[in-house]
Structure formats: structure tokens, C-alpha cells
Amino acid sequence: KNEVEQSPQNLTAQEGEFITINCSYSVGISALHWLQQHPGGGIVSLFMLSSGKKKHGRLIATINIQEKHSSLHITASHPRDSAVYICAASQGAQKLVFGQGTRLTINP
């Protein structure tokens, strides 16, 4: 079992739908990251959080430390949101442990 698990692995939705991607971790962490990776492209850090909730535009990230669970939400989804979303936990000497990623496709 991976230390960081994401679900679903693949998600296809229609433009405008509310999107939720889940992340569970089994290790102690100092922070939880949500990253975005476009096909053939680099990696962008969306959020880093250690408690509560953060919002940036249409993106919202939440974390429940007691339950070791985090969610990434996208409101009013758009085709340009299509990407792989990766959850990562930092532990120990600052290295990141990654989930396997969720491939999101938003159809117009």
C-alpha cells in the first residue's frame, strides 16, 4: 500500500461541474501539497497546507489532520483545468512523497 493514495485515478466531467479529488496518507507529515502537471509540461505547485482550508480562484484545498485526508475541489470546471493533479506529503528531511496522480479531463 502506498503511503499516499489518491482517488479517483481518472476523472472525466463536463464543463461547469464541481470536481473533487481525494488524497489519504498513512505517514506523519509536516505539510501536504497539491500539484498540477499538464501533458508534456512541468509541475506547478497549487497549494501547500498543514491545516484547515485554502482557496485560490476556483480551486479549494482542505485537510483533516486527524483523519489524514485532504481534498482538492474545482468549482465551475473548465477544459483548461484538464491535467494530472498530484497530492504529495512532506516528511522527514523535506522530501516529498507523491500519490499516483489523478488524470482529470473536462469536456466542453
Partner 1 sequence: NAGVMQNPRHLVRRRGQEARLRCSPMKGHSHVYWYRQLPEEGLKFMVYLQKENIIDESGMPKERFSAEFPKEGPSILRIQQVVRGDSAAYFCASSPRVWAGSYNEQFFGPGTRLTVL
Could you list the residues that contact partner 1 (CB under 8 A)? Answer: 30-31, 33, 35, 41-45, 48, 50, 86, 88, 90, 92-101
Rounded Cα distance, 13 and 106, in Å: 5
The DSSP H or E segment spanning 36 is strand 31-37
**What is the nearest approach in angstroms of partner 1 to the Cβ of residue 82?**
18
Rounded Cα distance, 82 and 94, in Å: 29
Which of 5/17 has CB closer to partner 1? 5
**What is the nearest approach in angstroms of partner 1 to the Cβ of residue 14?**
26
> Cα separations (Å) of 56 from 10, 12, 41, 50, 62?
23, 22, 21, 16, 12
Which of 43/65 has CB closer to partner 1? 43
Which of 48/60 has CB closer to partner 1? 48
